[in-house]
Amino acid sequence: MTKSNLIYSIATSTFLLIACSAAQAEGRAKFKGAKTNASGGVSAVQGGAAAGPNGNAGARSRFTTTDGQGNASSSSGGAVRGANGGVGVRAGQTNVNSDGSASHQSAAAANTAYGSGSTSGGFKRGADGSVSGGRSSSASGAAGGRFNSTSGYASGQGYQRGTSATNAQGGTYNGETTAQQGEGVSHSRTCTDAYGNTVDC
């Protein structure tokens, strides 16, 4: 998968969302097409968009290509807008290779009157069957609360996750979780009040 394919999906979805929003009318639109490519495979694209009567709209698209040698890639993107002005977008890409290896990446974000958030991550599988991956997420509320989380895993190394949160009053939470085959799961956490004093979680 090339980066340009992912950008294509996001750009197409965003364009369709803008087009539907500008129309200020209910309606639907779809497109779909495929053709052989220079690599001996097939390239295909599909997508659609819709708009409602109250300003809400949504759009999505997907681009997939193969090379005739057992390799394939697909990228997709989507966007949505609510009647109250909230917006959300997502994008993802997946690669599958003839040697058995594969990878996936995805990301999403949203922004509303109540707060905003985003997440991104993915995984990789090697030709030898090993796997690794991770994800990061964050969110913030309109009242001032915040949340962050990062996780990761890998063959032979187990799983780790770190989480932090702050409420609107300034109290905090920080936690760490690890898991390893044969060693079990461990978790630690610390909480403080708005003045930095340690308190029970």
pLDDT in tens, 127-139: 999 999 999 999 9
Last residue of one domain, picked from the residues 49, 79, 98? 98
Domain containing residue 157? 129-201
Q: pTM of the full predicted structure?
A: 0.83
Question: What does each of the 201 residues of the chain score in pLDDT, given as a tens digit?
Answer: 444 444 445 555 555 555 555 444 568 888 899 999 999 999 999 988 888 888 888 999 999 999 999 999 999 999 999 988 899 999 999 999 999 999 999 999 999 999 999 999 999 999 999 999 999 999 999 999 999 999 999 999 999 999 999 999 999 999 999 999 888 999 999 999 999 999 998
Segments of the chain assigned E as strands: 27-36, 42-51, 57-66, 72-81, 87-96, 102-112, 115-125, 131-141, 146-154, 158-166, 172-180, 184-192, 198-199
Last residue of one domain, picked from the residues 82, 98, 114? 98
Question: Does residue 196 share a domain with residue 138?
Answer: yes
Question: Does residue 135 share a domain with residue 87?
Answer: no
Give burial (CB, 10 Å; 0-12/13-18/19+) of 86.
Answer: middle
pLDDT at 23: 45
pLDDT at 22: 47
Q: Is residue 179 part of a domain?
A: yes
Last residue of one domain, picked from the residues 83, 98, 113? 98
pLDDT at 38: 94
The span from the CA of 100 to the CA of 59, in Å, is 32
Q: Is residue 117 part of a domain?
A: no
Question: Does residue 133 share a domain with residue 94?
Answer: no
Total domains in the fold of the chain: 2
